[in-house]
Amino acid sequence: MDQIVQQIAAYRQEIESLEIGSPQQLEEYRIKFLGTKGIVKALFGEMRNVPNEQKKAFGQVLNEFKQFAEAKYEGAKEVADNGPQAADDIDLSLPGDPLVAGSRHPINLVRKRIIDIFHRLGFAVADGPEVEDDWHNFTALNLPEHHPARDMQDTFYISQNPDWLLRTHTSNVQTREMEKGQLPIRIICPGRVYRNETISARAHCFFHQVEGLYIDEHVSFADLKQTLYFFVQELFGKDVKVRFRPSYFPFTEPSAEMDISCLICGGKGCRVCKHSGWVEILGCGMVHPRVLENCGIDANKYTGYAFGMGIERITMLQYGINDLRLFSENDLRFLKQFTGAV
Ligand code: PHE
């Protein structure tokens, strides 16, 4: 009997190390161990050769082994029925599921490029509300009520509360940052702004801006020029030329507008630059001392510069887009042209 018990132990080991990976192997296993002419049956047949006093113990060993062999079968069958497909069922020649990658909106693409450049110069991104009160959008910025310069930005007011409006520029974020009183300040403010313009190829009732503000001791107009010059060279390439023209903004003094040499004709003159060779891309200037005081900053100690640009305008120049309305029409024929641009 000892011999048979040893034999059973060997079978056990065999079953344990057996890997059943296909329905075919499963069936082979069943026939070998559990079939009518299988090993389990044969072992039960040995019962009659075992002496009577050992029959009970032997029966126990046999039953345990039978259960073990059956459990292996059930486990492997379950995997075969529900588990992953057997390797030879997979057709590797079938085409894969296509991975549809979207693309960024061109306005987002250019906004990201602008932010990246200023990031490298140490500017942090600041954010603020699109529905703003009069103080943060106008009055604090040296644009009191009835100031004629308010006409430069035709504004949507909220009729239920005329103190609220849709911000006309992201300078409201600058006001809010200055009021926090944590100096120095070096921020850029990207965001959507609203103006009551008639919609055309060149104007829309909403558009996007990036404005910048740097306030510290001894900040000068030279710093402003140098920063903006670096910026346009990074964005448009080293060959681009710039010029500053005196201008007027109530919140900066002196104020200027910055032009770059036309990217389309290289400065020779074309329709885009109206045959002047130059295109205007941003407004800028030294923060007016009254604005600093309005926001609680000591104008005798601190100076600063600010600038603001429209993202649509720069995107149109970079990609040769001739109609502003394309940005918000969501026409896939337009948007798909930016596929792959990340
Ligand atoms: N806020 C101005 C505008 O939207 C742009 C600007 C910002 C000009 C800062 C000068 C300085 O028109």
The string of pLDDT tens digits covering residues 14-26 is 999 988 888 899 9
Mutate to test the pocket of ligand 1, among 152, 173, 248, 251 (most ligand atoms within 8 A of CB): 251
Last residue of a domain, one of 89, 123, 143: 89
Residues in a beta bridge with 286? 305
Residue 99 domain flag: no
Q: Which residue has the higher pLDDT, 163 or 267?
A: 163
Judgement on whether residues 288 and 148 belong to the same structural domain of the protein:
yes
Judgement on whether residues 127 and 197 belong to the same structural domain of the protein:
yes
Judgement on whether residues 27 and 146 belong to the same structural domain of the protein:
no
Residue 234: CB atoms within 10 A of its CB come to 17
Q: Is 253 annotated as a binding residue?
A: yes
Atom 5 of ligand 1, nearest CA residue: 308
Atom 6 of ligand 1, nearest CA residue: 308
Distances (CA, A) of 81 to 16, 29, 264: 21, 16, 66
Residue 101 domain flag: no
Domain count, the chain: 2
Residue 319 domain flag: yes
pTM: predicted TM-score of the whole model, two decimal places: 0.72
Judgement on whether residues 258 and 147 belong to the same structural domain of the protein:
yes
CATH of the domain at 157: 3.30.930.10
pLDDT tens profile 60-82: 999 999 999 999 999 888 887 77
Judgement on whether residues 69 and 159 belong to the same structural domain of the protein:
no
Residue 265 domain flag: yes
Cβ atoms of 149 and 168 closer than 8 Å? no
Cβ atoms of 235 and 117 closer than 8 Å? yes
Judgement on whether residues 197 and 145 belong to the same structural domain of the protein:
yes
* Pocket lined around ligand 1, Cβ cut-off 6 Å: 169, 171, 211, 249, 252, 283-285, 306-308
| Contacting residues for 29 by C-beta, under 8 A, at least 6 apart | 18, 20, 72, 73, 76
Top mean pLDDT of 20-29, 94-103, 122-131, 264-273 is at 122-131
Residue 44 domain flag: yes
CB-side neighbour CA atoms (13 Å) of 267: 8
Judgement on whether residues 247 and 139 belong to the same structural domain of the protein:
yes
Judgement on whether residues 203 and 287 belong to the same structural domain of the protein:
yes
Judgement on whether residues 47 and 176 belong to the same structural domain of the protein:
no
Share of the chain above pLDDT 70, in %: 97
Residues in a beta bridge with 285? 255, 306
Residue 112 domain flag: yes
Give the position, in ligand 1's atom list, of the atom nearest the Cα of 153. 12
- Kindly report the average pLDDT of the chain as a whole number: 92
Judgement on whether residues 137 and 28 belong to the same structural domain of the protein:
no
Judgement on whether residues 130 and 235 belong to the same structural domain of the protein:
yes
Distances (CA, A) of 91 to 5, 24, 81, 82: 46, 19, 19, 19
Q: Dihedrals φ, ψ of 161, to 5°? A: -145, 95
Which domain covers residue 83, as residue numbers?
Answer: 2-89
Query: Which residue, 146, 116, 1, is CA-closest to 62?
Result: 1
Residue 287 domain flag: yes
Atom 4 of ligand 1, nearest CA residue: 169
Rounded Cα gap, residues 294 and 235, in angstroms: 34
Judgement on whether residues 60 and 158 belong to the same structural domain of the protein:
no
The predicted model gives 150-160 an average pLDDT of 91
Residue 97 domain flag: no
Last residue of a domain, one of 89, 122, 146: 89
